[in-house]
Amino acid sequence: MKTDVATRKSNLASAHKGLKANHVSGMTSLKAEISRLKDKMDLVHQNIAIARRSRCKEAADLLGLRKLSSKEESFIIAGVTLANLHLIKRRTPLHHY
């Protein structure tokens, strides 16, 4: 019986070590996968930003974006005056009750 108990303890200790090693290995591979996905997400984000910038430049060129005056930060495109976003940001929001 003592031999059986010792064998079971040994098997339990081996199993515990194996689970611990498996957990560490799984965490390492999971961290590597997360890092890879973050890099991929950053690349996709960068490509989207480049594409948007290109589309905005094309639209501005096609529709004739121009500054209204050299003193103001107002622009006009296709005959429509664009809102100055800097002024909009400075205003306090309206409160609705």
Does the pLDDT at position 93 exceed 80? no
So what's the pLDDT on residue 95?
Answer: 58
So what's the pLDDT on residue 82?
Answer: 84
Q: Going by C-beta distance under 8 Å and a sequence separation of 6 or more, which residues neighbour residue 61?
A: none
pLDDT band at 94 (very low <50, low <70, confident <90, very high): low
Domain spans, the chain: 2-64
pLDDT (mean) for 56-67: 89
Average pLDDT, the chain: 85
Does the pLDDT at position 97 exceed 60? no
In this structure, the number of other CB atoms found within 10 A of the CB of residue 60 comes to 13
